[in-house]
Amino acid sequence: MRIVFVVLSTVLLIACQQTTKPTDRDDGIIVGSTAWYEKVEQTYPTSDGQGHGPDYGSQEWCDVVYFRMHGEHASEPVPCNAEWFEYVDSKLPAN
């Protein structure tokens, strides 16, 4: 029974790992890091200015960033994954 638990736990941990490695930007900020989310927030604000807004990286946050980038709501939920973060990063102004 213990072996089954260990194997199952290992499989679950592997399945939850991010499949793509975050990349470094020219300014040293890692895509997907807290500093990166703050940079996105500066360019595409998602809060009301009083600290209220979606949690960084949540589905709601990704949808709001899409709206700020394109001026319209996406026809379906944004993928909100590493590839999408890379897309958002490519749209950020260079320092």
Q: 43-53 pLDDT, tens per residue? A: 999 987 777 89
Note whether residue 25 is domain-resident: yes
The dihedral formed by the CA atoms of 27, 32, 33 and 37, expressed in degrees to the nearest 10: 80
Note whether residue 59 is domain-resident: yes
Note whether residue 32 is domain-resident: yes
Note whether residue 8 is domain-resident: no
Q: Please compute the mean of the pLDDT values over residues 38-59 and round it to a whole number.
A: 90
Measured between alpha carbons, how far is residue 24 from residues 17, 21, 31, 80, 89 in Å? 19, 10, 6, 19, 10
Note whether residue 61 is domain-resident: yes
The residue range of the domain holding 81 is: 20-91
Note whether residue 56 is domain-resident: yes
pLDDT digits (tens, 9 = 90+) for 4-29: 444 444 444 454 444 444 455 667 89
pLDDT > 70: percent of the chain: 72
Residue 42, judged by CB atoms within 10 A of its CB (0-12, 13-18, 19+), counts as exposed
Q: Is the pLDDT of residue 85 over 50?
A: yes
pTM for this predicted structure: 0.69
Would you state the structure tokens that stand for residue 79, as one six-digit string? 């993928």
Number of separate domains in the chain: 1
Note whether residue 51 is domain-resident: yes
- Give residue 1's pLDDT: 64
CA atoms of 34 and 40, how far apart (whole Å): 10
Note whether residue 48 is domain-resident: yes
CA atoms of 32 and 57, how far apart (whole Å): 8
- Nearest Cα residue to 47 out of 29, 33, 61: 61
